[in-house]
Amino acid sequence: MLQRLASSAALLGCLPAVSSLSSLRLGGPPTLPGTASHFLHPALGSFSIETAFFETFLGNSSSPNNLSRSLFENLKARTGVPPEVRIGGITADSTYWDPNLDVSSFNFVDKDGVLHNTTIGPGFWDSVKLLPEGTKITINLDLNDLNYTGALEVATSALRGLPRDQLDLFEIGNEPDHYLSFTPRNYSEIWATWAQNISSTLNLQTPRFQIGATVDDPLWPYNTPSANRQLDCVNVFASGVDLGNTVRSCSEHTYQYSVCDPPRIAVATLPNLVNHTRLAMYLDLWQPRINAVRDRLGPHSFVIGEYNSVSCSGRDGVSNTFGQSLWLVDTTLYAASLNVSRMFIHQGGPLALQSSSQLNHGGLSFYDLWYPVQNLNGPIKVFPSYSAYLFLAEALGTSKTLRIANIYPGRQANGSTITPALGDESAGGLVAYGFWDDSATTGARFPTKLALLNLQLYNQTQTGIRPSTTIDISAFKQDPNSEVKIRRLQAPGADVREGDVTRWAGQVFSSGQAVGRLAEERITGGSIVVPDSEAALVFLT
């Protein structure tokens, strides 16, 4: 599978530059394609928040962070279901429980700014309760210390501190493929024993664990000795990780780019990020794992439990731009089209000595969707990326029977995305997704919504008329003369770093609340103009 894709991996370094296409006609048929996803999870756009920074984002019971609370509530209001939240990350592997702690959490930071560990107390769970009512929580437990008692103490405190219907899953370890020289076999032996013992001790009646949380990219080709030695969900299943029937789902992490070291810093650029071909060639590597896990555990069992654009806390001028907002929409929708159930975008701050040669030190991460507090990297603010989650939430709506498929550039028979050499004239610049709703009157015959993304870069510093592409959607309209509704994700350019000039449906959310009049276009034709570096959500019914 994906042989053509993998053999053309060199395209990642030499994609051709193309001028902005002025027109694109989307071809039918309008019926639900065989490549369409399962029913989309209403919490498709979810969050991972670094344990050591959780209180920074949500505050505590005596001083809640109202900006964060409003931004979360905005998303719940559009789907009826709040985003899920995974509390974890690298600091989860050095987080300890103290029942006598008189503050919610405490980070031990030495004189050089190195965060060594985090201690949480009873008040920490009161901070978690500040999330919207109904938020499902995944708790990441420490594996790196090989201290079962410590992991059990945190798990016990979570079970006692949170409502049972809110605490959803436990993870044991964060990115264990990066420490203790784990193999699939010895990881499975330790993990399975811990999961069974915690389940028994806490009287957990159903599978309540999520395996994996690994971060290394899948090796190509598959089914080689090297690939089969990777620590990933499929290989640990083969090693007996679920003999105790404790596993409900699998999580793996994705960071397409990185600033952890100089060679990767050089390619973590905005033009490289905002390109569908690069993105699809990257996520396509996970297709065999996604399929294998779903075959074993069910349709919503594979999640990307931590991801963002650039690891080691993002890159200024890349991860905090409107370009990242467009990338975020494309990443989430493309992953959904591959049957990834939920995407947990990571929030936190640079961790000193995470890498000896990393670009970032101190403050909050450049890839965060907002800064809940003033910090070394800037004041309290909402970044353009937050509006991408509004776009996604409204694309999902309140339906529980929505499916998605990539309709341009389309899919090959082997599952991979069409590359420039195979017919995508925009070289990764234009993308279209369709949404079909089984509960709608059109059913599988016609989509109810389209997401149109013009990723062809336009920066606010450019002069002259902003290029655009006219996209003909006629093939997907049930009635050629029917009216369609359009809401747009817009900013002055891909390089914009401010939420107060980023608009979703005409409104800005830089204060946490919608400001401005809702802007919604209505047209009766089949042609929709989408300027470069803009996205449109089209409601067909």
| Cβ neighbourhood burial of 137 (10 Å; 0-12, 13-18, 19+) | buried
> What are the pLDDT digits (tens) for 357-371?
788 788 999 999 999
Q: How far apart are the C-alpha atoms of 285 and 281, rounded to whole Å?
A: 7
pLDDT at 15 over 90: no
Identify the band that residue 351 occupies on the pLDDT scale cut at 50, 70 and 90: confident
pLDDT of residue 534: 98
pLDDT at 506 over 50: yes
User: CB neighbours (10 Å) of residue 480?
Assistant: 9
> What are the pLDDT digits (tens) for 432-452?
999 999 999 999 999 999 999
Residue 280's alpha-carbon distances to 29, 321, 324, 406, in angstroms, are 23, 20, 15, 11
User: CB neighbours (10 Å) of residue 100?
Assistant: 6
Buried-exposed string 507-517: b where 16+ CB fall within 10 A, e elsewhere: bbbbebebeee
- Mean per-residue pLDDT, 472-484: 96
> What are the pLDDT digits (tens) for 92-110?
999 999 999 999 999 999 8
pLDDT of residue 354: 65
Query: What residues have CB less than 8 Å from 84, skipping those under 6 apart?
Result: 43, 46, 47, 135, 136, 137, 138, 168, 342, 344
pLDDT at 217 over 60: yes
Q: How far apart are the C-alpha atoms of 311 and 125, rounded to whole Å?
A: 28
> What are the pLDDT digits (tens) for 315-334?
999 999 999 999 999 999 99
pLDDT at 539 over 90: yes
Query: What residues have CB less than 8 Å from 194, skipping those under 6 apart?
Result: 143, 148, 151, 172
pLDDT at 520 over 50: yes
Count the helix, strand and coil residues of the chain and give each as a percent rounded to the nearest 5.
30, 25, 45
CB 334 within 8 A of CB 344: no
Among 437, 454, 461, which residue's Cα sits nearest to residue 23?
454
Identify the band that residue 256 occupies on the pLDDT scale cut at 50, 70 and 90: very high
Phi, psi dihedral angles at 179 (to 5 degrees) = -155, 160
- Mean per-residue pLDDT, 204-230: 94
- Mean per-residue pLDDT, 377-383: 97
Identify the band that residue 112 occupies on the pLDDT scale cut at 50, 70 and 90: confident
Identify the band that residue 419 occupies on the pLDDT scale cut at 50, 70 and 90: low
- CA-CA-CA-CA dihedral for 509, 511, 516, 522, to nearest 10: 10
pTM of the model: 0.95
Among 430, 389, 393, 411, which residue's Cα sits nearest to residue 37?
411
- Mean per-residue pLDDT, 10-17: 42
Please name the residue that has the structure tokens 């990242």: 324
pLDDT at 13 over 60: no
Average pLDDT, whole number, for the chain?
Answer: 93
CB 119 within 8 A of CB 86: no
| Strand (E) or helix (H) holding 381 | strand 381-382
pLDDT at 59 over 90: yes
